[in-house]
Amino acid sequence: MMKYSYKEAVDFFKSMPHFTPPADGGVKKDFFSLDAELALLEKLNRPQDKLKYVHIAGTNGKGSTTTYLANILNEASVVTGAFTSPFLYRYNEMFRVNGRDISDADFAEVFSQVKPAYDELANEGIFVSEYEFLTVMAFIYFIKMGCELVLLEVSMGGRMDTTNVIPAPLVSVITPISYDHMTILGNTLTEIATEKAGIIKSGTTVVSAKQEPEVVHVLEEVCAKQSVSLEIVKASQIINRDIHGQRFITSDGMDYETTMLGTYQIDNAAVAIAAARKLGEKGYPITEEAIRRGIANTKWFGRFTLLSDNPPVIIDGGHNRQGATVLRQSLEEYFPGKKITFVLGILADKEVDIILDTLLPIADRCYTLAVPNPRTMPPEKLAEMIRTRGIDAAVLSDDITLDNIKEKAEVVCIAGSLYLISNCF
């Protein structure tokens, strides 16, 4: 077997074509196929069948919920793998065991195991995509690390996502479902929910965040068809919150604290707690103390994260209409009566008008920048869209820096895309 270096592995992925949504706006539910990935897994003796899973789908909150649950499991001394996306700085971030990224050496080793099978398929005219290859690497790495449980975060959708090649997971988690990736998933909540509910398999248990009525209807129908139980987590009660943390009580009267900010993080934590309890019922040694410590110790950079205090600077990766709504709610909750200076970068294929219409009523002024992604909205065009809504806007430049902006602002919020985080910090 040829042994590749870490650099060779990363260069290979960088050379692969990256996903671009259909440009014509048409819904393409069969745009993807899992056939190539399944063929690769067959050549590698189906490593996905050798692990136990929690599968996490939804529109918003997947990363935070996964991180909460991973920390609970770590506190319970369960060897836990987590496969998440996208990464901010390095591919290694996608593969974590007990909170630690895969090492460069292990990344190269696992890549070297998968690459010959990839080449065999390519010679047969079957081409595996970047995320399919990475997902297969995750299975092999988690087996190598002796993981007792794997948390698989869906990248997009569910039914045709690269992670949906596993047997029935112990628990399937559905975080809040909203409008996103509509050219792929559909133009209605019912269509989008149907795609995301495609991860639900007979033999699993489903835990869902609170959802819109049409989403609940889809989940109930799919769960009934698969003969699986569905728990929709009830809202928690906020005891107190400030810019450094939150305390809340779940619907069953249990008291928790988290340093994670944002009004929506309480819901994410409650979903993770419910999923952890389901795992406890299935034999994992998850105590109430492990849950409490896991929630308290969770940090997730880029989700309503406070970067500095004077003035407050918040960064948030929300990038769709629901993300914009909960970001505004959080800003109004934490900074009542204050006007927000936004630094915005948004992908052009997102619902830019809806995001702007949601955020700009609380804006003082805005600055725009390009997202480090080919799909970026040009910052000049984004600034013009903002100005047509009556808010002063300028493009970030060498003459306009974040330090300059902070001197005149009450609150600064950097938002619009997760990809901004790796560009700014």
For residue 285, cis peptide bond before it (omega within 30 degrees of 0): no
Percent of the chain whose predicted confidence (pLDDT) is above 90: 72
The pLDDT of 399-420, averaged and rounded, is 87
pLDDT, tens only, 114-131: 999 999 999 999 999 999
Distances (CA, A) of 285 to 75, 229, 339, 386, 401: 10, 22, 47, 52, 50
Whether residue 89 has pLDDT greater than 90:
no
Give the SS3 label for residue 5.
coil
Would you say 76 and 88 are in contact if contact means Cβ atoms under 8 Å apart?
no
127-170 pLDDT, tens per residue? 999 999 999 999 999 999 999 999 999 988 889 999 999 999 99
| Token reading at 264 | 């929506």
Mean pLDDT lowest for which of 76-85, 253-262, 272-281? 253-262
SS3 string of 206-231?
EEECCCCHHHHHHHHHHHHHHCCCEE
The sheet with strand 363-368 has its strands ordered as: 305-309, 312-316, 411-415, 340-344, 363-368, 393-395
Give pLDDT tens digits for 279-288: 999 999 999 9
Q: Which residues contact 263 (CB under 8 A, 6 or more apart)?
A: 326, 329, 330, 333
The one-letter code for the residue type at 102 is I
**What is the per-residue pLDDT for 20?**
55
Closest CA to 139 of 268, 236, 37: 37
pLDDT mean over 361-374 = 92
Query: Cα(45)–Cα(279) distance, rounded to whole angstroms?
Result: 27
**Structure tokens of 209?**
């965040």
Kindly indicate the confidence band of residue 88, based on its pLDDT and cuts at 50, 70 and 90. confident
Confidence of residue 178 (pLDDT cuts 50, 70, 90): confident
- Upper half-sphere CA count for residue 69 (Cβ side, 13 Å): 39
Q: What is the pTM of this model?
A: 0.81
Q: What one-character DSSP code corresponds to residue 235?
A: P
Residue type, 2: M
Task: Give CA separation, 337 vs 272, 333, 410, in Å.
Answer: 32, 9, 10
pLDDT digits (tens, 9 = 90+) for 210-227: 999 999 999 999 999 999
Average pLDDT of the chain, as a whole number: 91
Closest CA to 175 of 263, 274, 58: 58
Q: What is the pLDDT of residue 231?
A: 98
Residue 27's pLDDT band (cuts 50, 70, 90): very low
The pLDDT of residue 131 is 94
What average pLDDT does the segment 313-326 reach?
A: 84
Please give the C-alpha separations between residue 29 and each of 187, 338, 363, in angstroms, as whole numbers.
11, 43, 37
Cα angle vertex 37, ends 136, 173, to 5°? 65
The runs of H, that is alpha helices, within 376-418 are 379-387, 402-408
